[in-house]
Amino acid sequence: METLTIGELSARSGVAPSALRFYEREGLIHASRTSGNQRRYDRAELRRVSFIKIAQQVGVSLDEVREALDSLPENRTPTKADWSRLSARWRYRLQERITVLERLRDELSGCIGCGCLSLQRCKLANPGDRLAAGGTGPQRILNPAAS
């Protein structure tokens, strides 16, 4: 078994077939076809799917994942070093998020004592020191469970 069907890749990766097809439409993964037009995945695709899953957990959008994956060499199967390089970038992102959330936690702890929540006085709701990079609008940081 050199290649995987979509069902096999789905079972091994824990990603639904519909999501795998979606990823292919979005150019994140690739598949060859049988004579009957069914997808056959190279084993290396498993690692790509894996990378996508991790990136999701880190909080990276699929757009950014595509960008990262596009930076992989096209002429050869990516090496461990290639994957390490990309993962290192995510680790940095992840650390940034953690730092932001820790600051928020510490400030929230301070505010719990006073119960203020005053937009004028409370750093929390009015982060002049910009907790997140996103600027003005409200920021959705965590989506607890994909519906």
Partner DNA sequence: CTGCAACTTGAAGTTCACTTTAACTCAAGG
Partner DNA sequence: CCTTGAGTTAAAGTGAACTTCAAGTTGCAG
Interface ranges with a copy of itself (CB under 8 A): 12-16, 19, 46-47, 49-54, 56-61, 79-84, 87-88, 90-91, 94-95, 97-98, 101-102, 104-105, 108-109, 111-120, 122, 124-126, 131-146
What is the smallest separation between the CB atom of 70 and a copy of itself, expressed in angstroms?
A: 17
13 contact choice in DNA, a copy of itself, none (CB below 5 to 8 Å, kind-dependent): a copy of itself
Task: List interacting residues with DNA (CB under 7 A).
Answer: 5-8, 10, 16-19, 21-23, 31, 34-39, 52, 56, 61-63, 137-138, 140, 146-147
Q: By C-alpha distance, which of 14, 9, 28 is closest to 69?
A: 28
- Beta partners for 42? 3
Which bin fits 37, alpha (ψ -120 to 50), beta or left (φ > 0)?
Answer: left
For residues 97 and 122, give the distance between their C-alpha atoms in angstroms, rounded to a whole number.
21
72 contact choice in a copy of itself, DNA, none (CB below 5 to 8 Å, kind-dependent): none
- Could you tell me whether strands 3-4 and 32-33 are parallel, antiparallel, or unpaired per DSSP bridges? unpaired
